[in-house]
Amino acid sequence: MARPSRRNEVFLADSRLGNFKPGSKMVDDENYAEHVRKLGEAYVTVKRQILRHQSSTTGLFPCNLAEAPHEAHIRDSIYCASAAWALSLAYRKIDNDKGRTYELGQSAVKCMRGILFCWIRQADKVEKFKLSQSASTALHSKFHMTTGDTLAGDEEYNHLQIDCVGLFLLFLVQMISSGLQIIYTTDEVNFIQNLVYYVERAYRTPDYGMWERGSKYNNGSTELHASSIGMAKVALEAINGFNLFGDKGAAWSVIYVDVDAHNRNRTIFDCVLPRESNSKNTDACLIPTVSWPAFAIHDEELRNRTMAKAVRKLQGQYGFKRFLRDGYGTVLEEKNRKYYKPTEIKTFDGIECEWPLFFIFMVIDGVFKGSADQVEKYQNLLQPLLAETSDGVVVPKYYYISQECIEAERAKPGSQIRIPSMEEETGHLFLLGQAVYMVSKLLVDGLLHITELDVIKRHLPAAARPRHSIRYSFFQGRTSDLVVQIVLIAESVRLQQMLATYGILSQTPHQIEPIEVWSPNELTKAFGFLGVNKKLGLSGRPMRPVGGLGTSKLYYVCGHLVVCYPLLFEVSDFYLSQDMNLVIDDVKSDLVFLAKRWKLSGRPTFCMLVREENIRGPNTREYLDLLAEFKTGSCGGVNVRLGRLQTLISAACVENLDFLQSVPDTYTFKYVDELSMKSSFRSLTDVSRLAKLDDEPIDIQPLKFMSSYDIVQRLYHTDNMFAQTQILSVLLEREGLDYRIEDSTIKDRLDRLLRKAGVHQNWHVVRFCAGLLKKMVDSLAPSLTAMLVRGKQATIGVFGHEEEVIDKPMPPFKIKAILYSTTGPYDVSDIALQQEMILNIGKYISTSPELFEGILKIRIGWIIEAMRRELCIIEDKDVSIYSMPPSEVRKLLLITLARFGGQVERTPLQTRQLDGAFNRVPRDFYDRVWRILEKTPGGLKVCGYHLPQQPTLSDMTMYEMNFSLLVEHMLSNITDPAYRQIMVELFMVVSTLLDRNPEVQFLSAVDMDKLVQQGFDEFQKDQSRLEVQEKQDDMLTFFNTAPNVKRGTTSYLAKAVVNNLMQGAVRSSQDEFCSIS
């Protein structure tokens, strides 16, 4: 089809690909005059099209010149500033720049400082957001052009846009690295440090994304966006160890990044790609995320898949669609409504606006890749879309389908001529598009080299990027032969001597002096001083635990070298460290994690604190075997080096915590001191063993009618640990944790009981005490996020009772509230067990995602029920899962997930119970349900839940994650795991029948429960006739029948479906009736 004739080719002849030389940087004498002429034209264009719109007070740029010229959006302003900055870089290569280098650079500085001015006035929001990650406390994304005041309230506009803050931090580093001075004072340094905290948790912060609309339904809901997480990841990489004062800066103007937060963002980002979010299968905003300016990923295969998907799904003749069913700019979108109505997005299907802006991004991408073919391809696509005006080339914001062409376009996509938005006619330019176009022109015309535009070399692999300073850690990428350094710190001399008898090298805290050993909690306190600013009301780094990557660095603190042991070896509030088998497994997992995820310069140093209690339990031999394995140089496939700490320093990753120099002298940090012992351990035979105590519970009902005094007397006369815990639970409910019994409170006694029970391996008591004390394990939030970003949902609650669905990341305090509200009323021990399960599932879904294939909704209570059933199959008796060590619970989960554990053949009933409890479905199950729904105008009914055909089919698409989650929501009304699995089988049967008979469709709503009942009735008739069995109401026999055998469940379900078809519940377009085979 013909292009619009009024569009002209606007690229200059010498800017065509014939003169584009990827990698050319210097200007030779022969082309100098031409180079200066091109720069002059670019300068005039930038002044005329972009800088004349810059606010003289704030330095910001308007987003919508036509409708809101007084509104400045942060994202658009940053790109406008980048155009001026890029041209200033190009001018640096000529001598007589007429002052333009400085002028253009300062225009960029003014804009960046204007953004800083607007945001620093909202420092209180940054402080609140660090803790809540709430949309109501987000930094605003648009301000008044002249005054910098806010324009819309917290709830009036979708301000929460993590990518916007990340983009600001990225360009801040780029511009300062090029020599611009943007940050002036320590107050501003502290604020930027807090902006780092602001984006650190992007991996679990649902936001509104680049398009400021959240999910594609535009109903006010937020979701996790890959583009936002990617921008946060990039910002953290760019600013880590960066001095905001540039080359003239001091130690206190350096920015620090939590390497574990970066790793979580990187991991989650990789998992979400090539999707953008749950509702958007892809999105054009991923192009600037994985290419210029962010270059967020260097996995070529994943990058290419992401780009290819965006091109395949979104590219048109006039640009890229932002995302599928995007109504922005279409003639059908009602401009006076903020949000869409249900089913409204269906009306935009196939007529989405196409944006030339992304052709420009693809040109820039081609330049960075050195792909002349790609540059030429997208230049040729772009040229007819641009307009030549007296002010220069105009980039339309988008192209849309006119009202009269909509039906024809839907009938034959790409057949209609689109109309450009009004930039050319009105002169109200789309400044973001003009800015990006100018950057592309500078690159294609050879006026700017890619290494000049990307000063910090984001486009290169991490190892090839320049390092800011050797005093601070630096992201350099992963080496294939990484060696993890291990140092063993024995807490006492006698423990060191005993280890030496087995040839295990260790050191005591005194032997490594003046080096200090810190707990991760002390390191957390130290980082708490980073970014503190009383004038701005900023408290510094939130008290989040330092993760395994952070504790694997050495630290210089006020002249002292500090080594920190991981959280794994902390005597924590939770009890998992008391299970040595679990500790051994976690040590191996941590080493594998370090080997896989370490991206910093220098080697990771794994400090293992060995305590005397580690060799008192029943797993001492396994623990010593692990320590001995380190000597071999390999542990679980990881290269390790065991040595003295002093000899490992030279190869270690060392971080200087210079900001602690300002900490008051009155504040001291605690270090691990050596235990002084009179006796010594000559060998393991000298170590006293602790017996395992098995206590039985008592009936506490009589206690509820006794006075508190009498209950305390009962406590005095009870040696049974379980009974003591039960008695204390009654007192706790009546009197509270602070109720004193002699010289201690109930809380103190429960803490002692928990510790004692852990030492004696009485795990039911341990979990009971932990639940009563409301103990919470670290890393619950990251574990749940690991499930969510892999397209799963999670539910917390006891099997058979109400559950709470978690479909978005949330902070720990909310998770705690859900745990105690859904689980606490039924079984206090289950509170602790469910936390274990969340950690274990988070671990396995990250390392072995194939175990969760076919499982979309992870129902913690149901999985525990599946494990109970599996345990009964393995042990052939009823065994309490609460009495099992945490390490055995983890193994049982793995066995149950794998579906082949236990060495016992499962019956059809047991198989259905396990698959149903795990909510496992066949590979194409949700697609089949979609096809059933297409032929069921009345919708589907399951256990009283009605899934309507409309608006479901209008709002969603077959391959959309949200549709699959909606089907799971329907099935979650089923309370029996085996029945759920029968229901899944029934859906597969119905789908097969409809696929084989495409002319058939249901006339009314399909009640799936009735179909199961009818299939069961047919089964009972055959049982009565063939095996002379009486009719039963219980379906267990039916559930215990194999599906795909003669007289199996599939045949009876199919018969029920066909009977319904024959009773006139369907419409057929042909005379012949449906066939089964």
| Cis ω for the linkage preceding 293 (within 30 of 0) | yes
State the pLDDT at residue 466: 81
> Concatenated DSSP letters for 461-495?
-GGGSPPS-TTS--B----TT-EEEEEEEESBHHH
State the pLDDT at residue 11: 35
Provide the 10 A C-beta neighbour count for residue 408: 11
Single-letter amino acid, residue 983: M
Specify the residue for token string 């170590």: 687
428 to 68, 289, 441, 457, 528: CA distances (angstroms): 11, 27, 21, 35, 48
State the pLDDT at residue 1075: 39
661 conformational bin, left if phi > 0, alpha if psi -120 to 50, beta if neither: alpha
State the pLDDT at residue 1061: 73
Over its C-alpha atoms, the chain yields an Rg (Å, rounded) of 33
State the pLDDT at residue 248: 85
Specify the residue for token string 């936390």: 835
* 187 vs 120: CA distance, rounded Å: 9
> Concatenated DSSP letters for 1034-1046?
--HHHHTS-SSST
Q: What percentage of the chain has pLDDT greater than the value 70?
A: 92
87 to 21, 52, 141: CA distances (angstroms): 19, 15, 26
Nearest to 381 by CA among 319, 294, 473: 319
Whether the CB-CB separation of 725 and 768 falls below 8 Å is answered with: yes
Query: Tokens in use for 267?
Result: 């991991």
State the pLDDT at residue 254: 94
State the pLDDT at residue 985: 95
**Residue 143 pairs with which residues in a beta bridge?**
72, 150
* 620 vs 631: CA distance, rounded Å: 18
Helix (H, G, I), strand (E, B) or coil at 739: coil
* 907 vs 39: CA distance, rounded Å: 78
Single-letter amino acid, residue 181: Q
Contacts of 536 (CB under 8 A, 6+ apart): 120, 123, 187, 190, 191
**Residue 355 pairs with which residues in a beta bridge?**
320
Whether the CB-CB separation of 589 and 463 falls below 8 Å is answered with: no
State the pLDDT at residue 32: 85
* 954 vs 957: CA distance, rounded Å: 8
Contacts of 1058 (CB under 8 A, 6+ apart): 993, 1074, 1076
Single-letter amino acid, residue 1053: L
Whether the CB-CB separation of 983 and 1012 falls below 8 Å is answered with: yes
Nearest to 601 by CA among 654, 641, 527: 654
Query: Tokens in use for 928?
Result: 């089949």
* 303 vs 994: CA distance, rounded Å: 39
Contacts of 564 (CB under 8 A, 6+ apart): 517, 518, 519, 520, 522, 523, 546, 550, 551, 553, 555, 607
Query: Tokens in use for 810?
Result: 């949330």
Contacts of 797 (CB under 8 A, 6+ apart): 803, 804, 822, 823, 859, 860, 861
Single-letter amino acid, residue 64: N
* 161 vs 229: CA distance, rounded Å: 10
* 562 vs 513: CA distance, rounded Å: 10
State the pLDDT at residue 1031: 65
Whether the CB-CB separation of 217 and 345 falls below 8 Å is answered with: yes
Contacts of 31 (CB under 8 A, 6+ apart): none
pLDDT below 50 — which residues of the chain? 1-25, 901-902, 1069-1077
